[in-house]
Every structure is written in C-alpha cells, then in structure tokens.
C-alpha cells in the first residue's frame, strides 16, 4: 500500500533565494504530508444573526443593510443569517462529521463591546464565544480566531472608522480583551481579515461603510496605514503580555493575483506591480518592512503628476516601520482566483480622480475557457494558487503559510449537488501539493471557505460558498451536507488512516 500511495524520492533540501532551507517531504501524488491541517471558516456577520440579541451593539453592516436595504441583493441582511448565534452546536457537529481539525471564525466586535470600547463589555457576547470555543475543543477541533472580519461597531464608524488614527489603540484594547479572555484556549489568531478589502469600504461602495466616496485615491491609503498599525500594535501587545500562551498570529492577506497577459516586458511588469500594490501593500510591511519600493515610487510619481506636493501614500516613520516589520508568525493567504493583467489604463471608470485601483495602471481579463463560479470574478484557475504560494515563499523568505480562505460558490439551484466544487478542491489541492513537494514551500494547512452557505456581503444569499447547504426558507436554517462535504470527509479520513 505504501508504495502505491507514496513514491519516495531521495530527500532533497532546497533553499529558496538563500532563505531558510526546507526539507522536501517524500512526494505523494494524492495526499498532503503528515500533520497538514484541514479546516473550514466562517465570519461573524455572515453566519451569526442575533444582530441585536442579548446586548449586542449595531455594526456597520447592521447599519447599512437597515439604512439602505438595496445595498445588498434581494434586500438581504444578516439579521438572522445562518442563525449560528443560536445554532453553533450544529456547526461544530458538522465540523466534526466532516473531520475538520480547525475552525476559523471571527468574533463580532459589537457583540463583545457594544460601543466598540472596553468600558462597556457585554457578558453575553463574551460567553457566546467561550461556549463555541469549549464546544470545539471538546471535539478536538482547534479554533483559529479572527479578531476583525469587517464588522466595525457603528459607534466607531461615527468617529471616522478606519480613517481615524485613534482606531489603532481602540483596536489594541479590543485585541487585549480578546487575548486575555480566550488566549489560554486559542493558539491561532488572525488579527484582521483581508486588510486590502477593508480599504474598499472607504472611497468605494464595495463594502460597508461605503463612506468617503469622494476621497478615493487618498482615503484607501489612510485606512490601509491604520490597519497595518492596528495589526502591529496587537501583535506587539501579544508578544509583551501573552507570549506564554504560545499562540501564532498573522493577518489574512489578499489582493489581486495575476499572471501577465503576454510575455512582453510591459505585461510582466504589470503583473508584478499588481502584486506589489495589492498583496504587497500589506504583506511587504509585515514581512520585509515598509511599503514595496515600487508602490512608494509609483504613487509618489502619480501624485506629483497630479500637482500635489506630497504623495497620496502617507509614509511610515522609522519607528512604525520597525513595529510592523516581523509582526507575523505565519502567512495567512486568502486566495480564490486569478486574472490576466496587461499594461494599460482601465477605461471603464469615467471618474478622472485616481483610486488605489487605478494607481496600479493595468487592465484585467480572463481566459474564456476558465470554468466559473456563481460569482463572475471567481474563475477556476488552479495553477494560480501554486504561483501565489510560490511568490510568497520567494518574496518573504519561505515563511510558514496557511491558506486561510479558499473556495468556490454556486447559486444554490442544485441544492447539494456540487461536482464543480469537488473539481475546484481537487485541482487546487493538486497544485498546493506541488508547492510542498516540488517548490519546497512551507504550506501547513488549508481552510475552506466556507463551512456553510452564508451571507455573501453585497450578494446576500444569492452566492453560496458552503460545503454545507443552508435552507434560508426554513426558520430552522436546516443544514445539509453537499456532495463536496462528503468528498472532503473521505479525503481527510484517508489522511487520518494513512498517517495513524
Ligand atoms: C446608522 O448610523 C447612523 C449614525 O450613527 C444613525 O444616525 C442611523 O440611525 C443608523 N441607522 C440605522 C438604521 O440604525
Ligand atoms: C505645497 O507645499 C507648500 C509649502 O508647504 C504649500 O504652501 C502649498 O499649499 C502646497 N501645495 C499643495 C498643492 O498642496
Ligand atoms: C426560497 O424559496 C423560493 C421559492 O421556492 C425560492 O425561489 C428562493 O430561491 C428560496 N430562497 C432561498 C434563499 O433559498
Ligand atoms: C424546526 O425544528 C423543530 C425542532 O426539530 C421542529 O419541531 C419544527 O417543525 C421545525 N420547523 C420547521 C419550519 O421546519
């Protein structure tokens, strides 16, 4: 059986760009190495419901979905969502049934701190997450806790949200409370989910709070700066006060992952610039120090051309650079899809004012042969995830990497019949194994997005990322495993049997 499953090759030691050496594990064409972690993820606003239950305060998603119902498809909102606030035991039971070893979920800031500040703690909110964590641990499932997954308390938005530098210490206080309360039980932390996407709620209306719309080109960079500083403050605080808890911290990074449309020098440069001005915007300060040089140069140059005498990208002080550099114990990667990019200007926007997006200076396209999810942006491009992981190990000296989100959406019309999702997982897993066995990257785990069909932001319940179907027409929010969940159950089980 051994020889059928695993083709042993001479153990190689590879070194990526002179960084930490990695021992290549024996190649398996079907399985990940021993100890590889399989997990599933959700986020508070997308699953919990209980939007005003037991003292929870309103957040920016409660506010925008109530204030402007048409902001979301079908006027959907997260008032009840999958009702995980009341049904979390069903969720944990599903995790156990499928065989997951980790559950990544987020804490709702306004459930714990109704006004966002630590002078008003909501005991019921504290208890909810304690119960969830205890339920997970009782079944041997490791919690990975996201401290901020896009649901800012409305009271904090009222002082400017992530544009206000005060948010940095307010977030630090919140993180302190969360570490102090749950840290003896939680060993995996994501401070902030997808800081790149958080900037798209400011100067753009892609996400709540959809504020400061006329300030795009400037406000995204202020927000990005505060997100990085808030993350670093939380990380340093953990090192100082909670290092005996021995947890591992990171952000969940994302951006636009692209491949050059042609092999012209211009398009190759365009793809690199797309990486640096999206992923690199956040991960370069954390893993190398400061913004990528190319990002600084380009925004400074564009700012000068616009007749400004300072760059729209506000610089960090040396102290800030030092505080942010090294503030991660692994690289959390959220990856779904890939696009082609070419040098050029996107003509679709009539707005002459710059934005973080137009600053990149590329046009994007896709290969019409790529299969697609229910979301038009979600093209199935398995080779892209391998290139992205490889880029991380080359760019940031081979850090430990965990795929903190990855998944496929359907439109729910086929209930639990989802061969497309199985295809997606199979092909992406195959590429991920290559990053380990061939490229020598330190990929340690994969967390599926998502455990359940959940509130998909502006798409409401029309886009379903779940391995498990949720019936939104039934007040019990009945959960039914899709075929992909059974496929994954067998896949994880195979690893458990083999490595026992
Ligand atoms: C949204 O927040 C604003 C500012 O606090 C408030 O005036 C408004 O009443 C809120 N809307 C809803 C529906 O809660
Ligand atoms: C540029 O800087 C000078 C000196 O600080 C200032 O007086 C001027 O208003 C600035 N111009 C712009 C366009 O900001
Ligand atoms: C609820 O049921 C209706 C009618 O069967 C269907 O059209 C709709 O898509 C369902 N909604 C959800 C969220 O499942
Ligand atoms: C919800 O579940 C309860 C308890 O199992 C059951 O009695 C009830 O009929 C269910 N409601 C619906 C609408 O299916």
The per-residue pLDDT for range 317-343, each reduced to its tens digit, is 999 999 999 999 999 999 999 999 999
Protein residue with its CA nearest to atom 7 in ligand 4 = 476
- Nearest ligand (C-alpha, residue 454): 3
Q: Is the pLDDT of residue 405 over 80?
A: yes
Please compute, for residue 477, the number of CA atoms within 13 A of its CA located in the half-sphere on the CB side: 22
Q: Which pLDDT value is given to residue 28?
A: 79
Q: Is the pLDDT of residue 487 over 80?
A: yes
Q: Which pLDDT value is given to residue 156?
A: 99
Protein residue with its CA nearest to atom 3 in ligand 2 = 309
Mutate-to-test residue for ligand 4 from 87, 90, 472, 476, highest number of ligand atoms within 8 A of CB: 476
The per-residue pLDDT for range 38-54, each reduced to its tens digit, is 999 999 999 999 999 99
Q: Once rounded to an integer, what is the mean pLDDT over residues 394-404?
A: 98
- Exposed, middle or buried: residue 482 (CB in 10 Å: 0-12, 13-18, 19+)? buried
Q: How far apart, in whole angstroms, are the C-alpha atoms of residue 314 and residue 208?
A: 23
Q: Once rounded to an integer, what is the mean pLDDT over residues 87-112?
A: 99
461 lines ligand 3 (CB under 6 A): yes
Q: How far is the CA of 465 from the centre of ligand 4 (A)?
A: 25
Protein residue with its CA nearest to atom 3 in ligand 4 = 476
Q: Which pLDDT value is given to residue 345?
A: 87
Q: Are 442 and 435 in contact (CB under 8 A)?
A: no
Which class is 2-498 in CATH?
A: alpha beta
The per-residue pLDDT for range 211-245, each reduced to its tens digit, is 999 999 999 999 999 999 999 999 999 999 999 99
Q: How far is the CA of 44 from the centre of ligand 3 (A)?
A: 23
Q: Once rounded to an integer, what is the mean pLDDT over residues 178-204?
A: 98
The per-residue pLDDT for range 279-323, each reduced to its tens digit, is 999 999 999 999 999 999 999 999 999 999 999 999 999 999 999
Q: Is the pLDDT of residue 347 over 80?
A: no
Protein residue with its CA nearest to atom 8 in ligand 3 = 473
Q: Which pLDDT value is given to residue 29?
A: 78
Q: Once rounded to an integer, what is the mean pLDDT over residues 377-397?
A: 98
Closest ligand 4 atom, residue 474 Cα:
13
Helices 219-241/265-287 angle, 10° precision: 40
Q: How far is the CA of 426 from the centre of ligand 3 (A)?
A: 30
473 lines ligand 3 (CB under 6 A): yes
The per-residue pLDDT for range 77-94, each reduced to its tens digit, is 999 999 999 999 999 999
475 lines ligand 4 (CB under 6 A): yes
Query: Catalytic pick from 90, 135, 157, 194?
Result: 194
Enter the pTM of the model: 0.95
Q: What is the 3-state secondary structure (H, E, C) of the chain?
A: CHHHHEECCCCCEEECCCCCEEECCCEECCCCCCCCEEEEECCHHHHCCCCCHHHCCCEHHHHHHHHCHHHCHHHCCCCCCCCHHHHHHHHHHHHHHHCCCEEEEECCHHHHCCCCCCCCCCHHHHHHHHHHHHHHHHCCCEEEEEEECCCCEHHHHCCCHHHCCCHHHHHHHHHHHHHHHHCCCCCEEEEEECHHHHHHHECCCCCCCCECHHHCCCHHHHHHHHHHHHHHHHHHHHHHHCHHHCCEEEEEECCCCEEECCCCHHHHHHHHHHHHHHHHHHHHHHHCCCCCHHHHHHHHHHHHHCCCCCCCCCCCCHHHHHHHCCCCCCEEEECCCCEEEEECCCCCCCCCCCCCCHHHCEEEECCCCCCECCCCCCECCHHHHHHHHHHHHHHCCCCEEEEEECCCCECCCCCCCCHHHHHHHHHHHHHHHHHHHCCCCEEEEEEEECCECCCCHHHCCCCECCCEEECCCCCCCCEEECHHHHHHHHHHHHHHHHCC
Mutate-to-test residue for ligand 3 from 74, 472, 474, highest number of ligand atoms within 8 A of CB: 472
Q: How far is the CA of 79 from the centre of ligand 3 (A)?
A: 18
pLDDT confidence band for 74 (50 / 70 / 90): very high
Closest ligand 4 atom, residue 476 Cα:
1
405 classed as catalytic: yes
Q: Which pLDDT value is given to residue 247?
A: 98
Q: Which pLDDT value is given to residue 15?
A: 55
Q: Is the pLDDT of residue 3 over 90?
A: no
166 classed as catalytic: no
Query: Catalytic pick from 405, 420, 431, 456?
Result: 405
Q: How far is the CA of 63 from the centre of ligand 1 (A)?
A: 6
Protein residue with its CA nearest to atom 12 in ligand 1 = 63
Q: Once rounded to an integer, what is the mean pLDDT over residues 156-162?
A: 98
474 lines ligand 4 (CB under 6 A): yes
Q: How far is the CA of 309 from the centre of ligand 2 (A)?
A: 6
Q: Which pLDDT value is given to residue 352?
A: 85
Q: Once rounded to an integer, what is the mean pLDDT over residues 352-378?
A: 97
- Nearest ligand (C-alpha, residue 415): 3
Mean pLDDT, the chain, rounded, equals: 95
Segments making up each domain of the chain, as ranges: 2-498
Q: Once rounded to an integer, what is the mean pLDDT over residues 179-194?
A: 98
Q: Which pLDDT value is given to residue 16?
A: 53
């Amino acid at each position: 059986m051994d020889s059928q499953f695993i083709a042993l090759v001479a153990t190689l030691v590879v070194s990526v760009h002179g960084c930490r050496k990695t021992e290549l594990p024996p190649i398996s064409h079907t399985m990940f190495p021993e100890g590889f972690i399989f997990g599933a993820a959700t986020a508070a606003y997308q699953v919990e419901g209980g939007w005003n239950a037991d003292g929870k305060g309103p957040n920016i998603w409660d506010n925008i979905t109530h204030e402007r119902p048409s902001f979301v498809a079908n006027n959907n909102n997260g008032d009840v969502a999958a009702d995980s606030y009341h049904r979390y035991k069903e969720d944990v039971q599903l995790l156990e049934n499928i065989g997951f070893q980790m559950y990544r979920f987020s804490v709702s800031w306004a459930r714990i701190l109704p006004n966002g500040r630590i002078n008003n703690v909501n005991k019921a909110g504290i208890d909810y997450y304690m119960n969830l964590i205890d339920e997970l641990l009782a079944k041997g499932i490791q919690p990975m806790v996201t401290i901020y997954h896009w649901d800012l308390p409305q009271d904090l938005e009222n002082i400017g949200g992530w544009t206000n530098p005060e948010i940095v210490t307010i977030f630090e206080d919140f993180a302190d409370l969360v570490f102090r309360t749950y840290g003896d039980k939680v060993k995996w932390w994501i401070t902030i989910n997808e800081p790149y996407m958080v900037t798209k709620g400011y100067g753009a209306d892609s996400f709540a709070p959809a504020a400061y719309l006329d300030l795009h080109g400037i406000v995204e960079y202020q927000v990005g700066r505060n997100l990085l500083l808030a993350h670093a403050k939380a990380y340093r605080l953990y090192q100082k006060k909670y290092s005996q808890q021995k947890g591992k911290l990171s952000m969940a990074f994302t951006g636009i992952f692209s491949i050059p449309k042609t092999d012209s020098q211009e398009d190759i440069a365009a793809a690199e610039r797309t990486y640096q001005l999206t992923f690199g915007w956040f991960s370069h300060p954390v893993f190398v120090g400061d913004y990528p040089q190319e990002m600084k140069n380009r925004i400074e140059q564009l700012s000068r051309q616009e007749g400004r005498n300072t760059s729209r990208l506000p610089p960090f002080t040396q102290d800030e650079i030092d505080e942010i550099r090294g503030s991660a114990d692994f690289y959390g990667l959220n990856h779904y899809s890939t696009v082609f990019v070419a040098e050029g200007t996107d003509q679709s926007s009539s707005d002459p004012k710059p934005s973080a997006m137009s600053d990149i200076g590329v046009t994007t396209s896709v290969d019409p042969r790529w299969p697609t999810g229910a979301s038009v942006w979600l093209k199935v491009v398995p080779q892209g995830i391998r290139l992205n992981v490889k880029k991380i190990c080359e760019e940031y000296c081979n850090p430990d990497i965990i795929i903190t989100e990855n998944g496929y959406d359907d439109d729910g019309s086929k209930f639990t019949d989802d061969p497309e999702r199985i295809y997606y997982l199979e092909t992406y897993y195959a590429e991920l194994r290559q990053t380990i066995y061939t490229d020598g990257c330190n990929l340690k785990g994969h967390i599926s997005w998502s455990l359940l069909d959940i509130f998909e932001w502006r798409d409401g319940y029309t886009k379903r990322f779940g391995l498990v179907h949720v019936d939104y027409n039934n007040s019990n929010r009945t959960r039914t495993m899709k075929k992909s969940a059974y496929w994954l159950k067998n896949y994880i089980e195979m690893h458990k049997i083999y490595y026992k």
